[in-house]
């Protein structure tokens, strides 16, 4: 990889990390403003998924598989 690609990758990773952090800060603040604990919301969500109350489309399943593969590759570099 050349220096330009490294800079682009760094900027892309920084933006993704920033957006992820912002999302979780927003999620936390929204839950707390609503009077809910974020941990309880996550627990109830995963219970609903297990019970089949939350259903994913085939496209969403493909995204989950892709994300898992990319996470493995990224973690291999760490």
pLDDT (tens, 9 = 90+) of the chain, 78 residues, equals 454 454 456 556 666 666 666 666 788 888 888 899 999 998 998 899 899 998 889 998 898 888 888 888 777 765
pTM: 0.50
Task: Look at residue 40 in the predicted model and tell me its pLDDT.
Answer: 94
Task: Look at residue 76 in the predicted model and tell me its pLDDT.
Answer: 73
- How far, in Å, CA of 67 to CA of 73, rounded? 10
What number of H helices and E strands is found in the chain? 3, 0
Task: Look at residue 43 in the predicted model and tell me its pLDDT.
Answer: 93
């Amino acid at each position: 990889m050349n220096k330009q690609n490294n800079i682009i990758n760094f900027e892309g990773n920084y933006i993704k990390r920033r957006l992820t952090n912002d999302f979780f800060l927003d999620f936390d603040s929204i839950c707390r403003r609503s009077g809910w604990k974020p941990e309880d919301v996550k627990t109830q969500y995963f219970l609903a998924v297990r019970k089949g109350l939350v259903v994913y489309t085939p496209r969403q399943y493909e995204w989950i598989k892709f994300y898992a593969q990319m996470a493995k590759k990224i973690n291999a570099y760490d």
